[in-house]
Amino acid sequence: MARIPRIMITGESTAYHVISRTALDGYVMGDVEKDFFVKLLKQKAKIYFTEILGFCVMGNHFHLLVRIIRDGDYTDTDIVDRYKTIYGKDAVLPEDRIDFYRDKWASLSEFVKEIKLGFSRFYNKRHGRRGFFWGDRFKSVVVENGNTLINCLAYIDLNPVRAGIVGRPEDYRWSSIGYHLQNATPDDFLSLDFGLRPFMKHSDEKRLAHYRAFLYETGAVDTGKGAQVDEKVLEKERKKEFKVTRAMRFKYRTRYFTDSGIIGTKVYVANTFQRFKDRYPAKREKIPKPVAGLSGMYSLKRLSEA
């Protein structure tokens, strides 16, 4: 049977749910692989004209909810700036190649292809193997904004709960909700849209609480497929009105006490790095990163990129 052509919408910003599975048996993506996948996703998202709405990296597949930004929302200067990000600030992009990169960096297929290819190379090198890593071509579904989008995002973030890996969605750090709560250094990688921005003129914090309410209430429903959020856990969240408390943020920051390389005040981290900088392969200076939720504390590594 012939393949059905992939549905791609041009001329307007469109959200897609992308799913791709490995070709290997078992759960072959461990912590290191999942960390690298997220790092790679962040790198490519800076180049391509995308808005990352959600993701989840599991042991044998990944989900991605991404909005491809319409053609009219970026200029020739945007193209050149991204080109220099890849090839260096002195790189010159010929004018007759601008349209090529404009099309490429607004392509869902090219975006996913680069992520999958980059990850395959990493995995094969790390495990001393050759050949295909991913199975059939990725699946993609066009997702309407609003109620449909938030339902799709919840479906993605609930994957680790349904699989019985965690009891709370945000306990899984290789997902969008886990990233929102466990990433101590705020950045612009992951959207705080939740499909609610056009309908809720509230702060990011309130939208996050609203999304967590939807996520927990949805996750507590017994679908007959996999596990669900425990009723006791749901009730505790209801009492807190699904707000992210300081105690919760501290809980997810504790990784910094074991994995951050150096932790302390900004001056201490900077000075200690200078003493041992020859041990780090990166040529550029490492700038201490503030650890959100731990007042006055900085770390050498941003753990989401470690």
Of 12-21, 69-78, 178-187, the range with the highest mean pLDDT is 12-21
pLDDT band of residue 251 (cuts 50, 70, 90) is: low
Return the amino acid letter for 188. Answer: D
pLDDT in tens, 151-188: 899 999 999 999 999 999 999 999 999 998 887 565 78
Q: List strand residue ranges (DSSP E) for the chain, in order.
A: 14-21, 50-57, 61-68, 139-143, 263-264, 289-290, 298-299
Topology of the domain comprising 14-71+104-251:
Alpha-Beta Plaits (3.30.70)
| Residue 208: predicted pLDDT | 87
Q: Report the C-alpha gap between 108 and 78 in whole angstroms.
A: 18
Q: Report the C-alpha gap between 22 and 17 in whole angstroms.
A: 17
Q: Report the C-alpha gap between 38 and 242 in whole angstroms.
A: 26
Integer-rounded Cα Rg, in Å, for the chain is 20
**Average pLDDT for residues 237-255, to the nearest whole number?**
62
Q: Report the C-alpha gap between 260 and 244 in whole angstroms.
A: 23
**Average pLDDT for residues 123-148, to the nearest whole number?**
90
Sheet holding 14-21, edge to edge: 50-57, 61-68, 14-21, 139-143
**What is the chain's mean pLDDT, rounded?**
83
> Are 288 and 269 within 8 A, CB to CB?
yes
Listed by start position, the domains of the chain span: 14-71+104-251, 262-301
Percent of the chain with pLDDT over 90: 47
**Average pLDDT for residues 7-11, to the nearest whole number?**
74
pLDDT in tens, 210-235: 898 989 888 888 878 888 887 888 88
Residue 80 has pLDDT above 60, yes or no: yes
Residue 92 has pLDDT above 90, yes or no: yes
**Average pLDDT for residues 145-152, to the nearest whole number?**
86
Q: Report the C-alpha gap between 50 and 31 in whole angstroms.
A: 26
Distances (CA, A) of 286 to 57, 61, 261: 28, 33, 11
Residue 45 has pLDDT above 60, yes or no: yes
* Distant-in-sequence, close-in-space partners of 97: CB < 8 Å, separation ≥ 6: none
**What are the backbone angles phi and psi of residue 263, rounded to the nearest 5°?**
-140, 140
Where do we find the tokens 């707000």? 243
Residue 2 has pLDDT above 60, yes or no: no
| Residue 7: predicted pLDDT | 73
Residue 59 has pLDDT above 70, yes or no: yes
Task: Report the helix count and the strand count for the chain, using DSSP H and E.
Answer: 12, 7
| Residue 306: predicted pLDDT | 41
pLDDT band of residue 258 (cuts 50, 70, 90) is: low
